[in-house]
A and B are shown apart, each in its own frame.
Chain A
Amino acid sequence: MSGPPSKVLPAGSAQESATELSLESLVADHYGFVWRVLRGFGLTPTDAEDATQQVFMIAARKLDTIDPQRARSFVYGAALRVANNTRRGLRRRREVSDDEASSRLEPEERGPEALTELGKARSLLADLLDQLSEKHRRVLVLAEIEQLEVPQIAALEGVPVGTAASRLRVAREQFRVLLDAARDRNPFLEQP
């Protein structure tokens, strides 16, 4: 019945051990998914890490009620809410003090010239995704970064498969137009 011991933290009582295993597997299975999705939703690496922590803190509170089969849906929904709150907070801070906001810029925000090729690519991608509507951005992130199939995207988004497919088609069309318009910023343009 009991699984392998915690790789991160020693277990306490038997009851705690059972709970901890659930929490550990939740974090281990979905940490990367949540963090990448939050990055795809426009958070900087540091903000994404903070937000990911919040997602799992929310999940911990609801651990007893999360259906293991739907754990990814749960953390995805929590990630959406946390991302929205984080972006609202960032906007407020920028309104309060532009100087402070600029001093908090991540390396990727300090100018393309200071970036590696991969950094430039991620920066460009973030700019392009920012120009999509939220619903199109979400399906594109799930399809192209998480490489999920349309039915999986539909399940996460809570929409019919046809709706998800339609949104994805539109998202890809819009993304392609934006990508063409930003061709000169694409670090991969001149490579075969």
Chain B
Amino acid sequence: MTLPDPIDKLGERLFQAARREPLPDEGMERALLAARAELAAPRSKLILLSRPVRWTLIAAAAAALAAGVTLFARHQDAIDRISAEPASTLQHAHSAQAPSASAIALTAAPNPAPSTKPAPIFSAAAPAHSAQASLSDELGALKRASSALNAGDTRGALTALDQYDHVLKGTKMRAEATLLRIETLARAGQAGAASELAQRFVAQNPESPLVDRARSFVQQ
């Protein structure tokens, strides 16, 4: 068999430029985090998600749009603007749904004096950045959260995620952090809080590669 002709030198240099294109910074780590989150996914929820539910979610996203919530095409950009409240706030907001005492014991971060009006889980305002955390710092916090979650230590995971949100004021891996928080809440028995956070994630980040994963936590 005759081998196909090679591309000439000018063409070869174009392909060489493609071969030398640098991979995304920390892209491999992000992919691994996303894949690991998928690996730990409750499969049945993914399977049970029916088409009507999908349309309901799409309608919810449209409603969010109508309410003036800006949707961003890039999930990272979008989530950069989201300021998640501490786990303790989430717990406060959903304490009525907490099924067990162990969930109450999850309060990880010191909470300011409880307000009669719980703070919103998300704020559309951009977080104030006192200092820009490096990607390594952000990745480190998420590694700790992921490791704690894998070990069944949901409290430790929430502490690491609170650190990501409020100490590091992380922005670069916000999507992954939010998904980890959703999973942690679900694992801790706070299904209602996990579902609400997941719904907001889906509505505000319809094009995120993590959106299906988040959707699997939305309660019907």
- Residue numbers of A with Cβ under 8 A of B are 8-13, 16, 19-20, 23-24, 26-28, 31-32, 35-36, 39-40, 45-46, 48-54, 56-61, 63, 89, 93, 100, 104, 118, 121-122, 124-125, 128, 143-145, 147, 150, 161-162, 165, 168-169, 172-173, 175-176, 179, 183, 186, 188-189
Task: Judge whether B74 is part of the interface by a CB distance below 8 angstroms.
Answer: yes
Complex-state Cα separation, A118 to B15, whole angstroms: 10
B18 nearest in chain A by CB position = A145
A27 touches B31 (CB 8 A): yes
Chain B residues within an 8 Å CB radius of A122 = 14, 17-18, 21
Task: Judge whether B129 is part of the interface by a CB distance below 8 angstroms.
Answer: no
B157 CB to nearest chain A CB (Å): 11
A31 touches B31 (CB 8 A): yes
Chain B residues within an 8 Å CB radius of A168 = 4
A35 touches B23 (CB 8 A): yes
B39 touches A23 (CB 8 A): yes
A9 touches B32 (CB 8 A): yes
Instruction: Specify which of B34, B46, B75 is in contact with A56 (CB 8 Å cutoff).
Output: B34
A124 touches B27 (CB 8 A): no
Q: Which of B5, B11, B13, B35 counts the most A-chain CB atoms under 10 A from its CB?
A: B35
B18 touches A32 (CB 8 A): no
Chain A residues within an 8 Å CB radius of B38 = 56-58, 60-61
Complex-state Cα separation, A32 to B21, whole angstroms: 10
A51 touches B150 (CB 8 A): no
A125 touches B10 (CB 8 A): no
A144 touches B7 (CB 8 A): yes
Task: Judge whether B19 is part of the interface by a CB distance below 8 angstroms.
Answer: yes
B209 touches A39 (CB 8 A): no
B206 nearest in chain A by CB position = A89
Chain A residues within an 8 Å CB radius of B33 = 8-9
Complex-state Cα separation, A165 to B1, whole angstroms: 9
A104 CB to nearest chain B CB (Å): 5
